């Protein structure tokens, strides 16, 4: 059961990120496009604020970089769906959607800075279809490596490095420390 393995992962917060993008797309969104937007939101927040929004496990897959745990929830492969089902419908026909209309105020797991990041990512990439945004990540997310039909981890240090952060190792260590603190608080 995935949710139990990653006690540091905030399922409700990930669901709210997904809900934001589904809302902006008109109530439902293509899964491939969504997976790229979620990744780009974390990456953009790392560039702007030295920290990801979700602290998810990042991986390279054939269609580009993704947030692995969030994608498992989208695909219905994760347990512990409390907090997820409050916002996000089950996947059907390569799409997920909102369970109900949501306002920014109802996305209460997200800080004002994180919401601003989501809005900036939508502003830049929202008009692209899933294939255009996938192709953009292949070219512009240098931390992604073609896994040739598999998936390979993307360490946070590598993302910070390709974002031009001089203290990439220290920033990645801070992400890991924050994960450990959250896991300890939930234990």
pLDDT tens, position by position, 25-38:
999 999 999 999 99
- How many beta carbons lie within 10 A of that of residue 1, not counting itself? 7
* 152-153 sheet: strands from edge to edge: 64-67, 58-61, 152-153
Average pLDDT score over residue span 74-90: 88
Average pLDDT score over residue span 15-33: 98
Please write the tens of the pLDDT for every residue from 120-177.
999 999 999 999 999 999 999 999 999 998 999 999 999 999 999 999 999 999 999 9
CB 44 within 8 A of CB 120: yes
With 90 as the cut, is the pLDDT of residue 82 above it? no
Where do the DSSP E strands lie in the chain?
Answer: 28-30, 58-61, 64-67, 95-97, 152-153
Average pLDDT score over residue span 108-116: 98
Where do the DSSP E strands lie in 11-158?
Answer: 28-30, 58-61, 64-67, 95-97, 152-153
Average pLDDT score over residue span 101-130: 98
Q: What is the pLDDT of residue 2?
A: 39
What residues pair up with 60 in beta bridges, in sequence order? 65, 152
Average pLDDT score over residue span 3-7: 61
CB 92 within 8 A of CB 53: no
Percent of the chain topping pLDDT 90: 86
Q: What is the pLDDT of residue 14?
A: 96
| Mean pLDDT across the chain | 94
- Give the tokens for residue 178: 């924050």
With 90 as the cut, is the pLDDT of residue 182 above it? no
Contact partners, residue 3, CB within 8 Å, separation at least 6:
9, 11, 78, 79, 80, 81
Residue 79 has φ and ψ, to the nearest 5°, of -85, 180
Confidence band, pLDDT 50/70/90 cuts, at residue 5? low
């Amino acid at each position: 059961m995935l949710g139990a393995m990653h006690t540091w992962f905030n399922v409700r917060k990930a669901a709210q990120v997904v809900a934001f993008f589904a809302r902006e797309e008109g109530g439902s969104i293509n899964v491939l496009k969504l997976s790229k937007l979620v990744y780009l939101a974390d990456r953009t927040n790392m560039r702007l604020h030295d920290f990801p929004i979700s602290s998810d496990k990042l991986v390279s897959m054939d269609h580009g970089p993704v947030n692995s745990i969030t994608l498992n929830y989208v695909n219905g492969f994760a347990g512990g769906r409390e907090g997820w089902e409050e916002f996000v419908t089950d996947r059907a026909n390569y799409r997920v959607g909102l369970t109900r209309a949501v306002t920014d105020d109802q996305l209460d797991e997200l800080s004002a800075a994180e919401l601003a990041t989501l809005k900036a990512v939508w502003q830049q990439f929202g008009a692209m279809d899933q294939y255009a945004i996938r192709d953009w990540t292949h070219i512009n997310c240098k931390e992604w490596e073609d896994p040739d039909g598999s998936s390979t981890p993307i360490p946070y240090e590598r993302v910070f490095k390709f974002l031009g952060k001089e203290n990439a190792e220290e920033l990645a260590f801070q992400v890991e420390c924050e994960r450990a603190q959250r896991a300890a608080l939930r234990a």
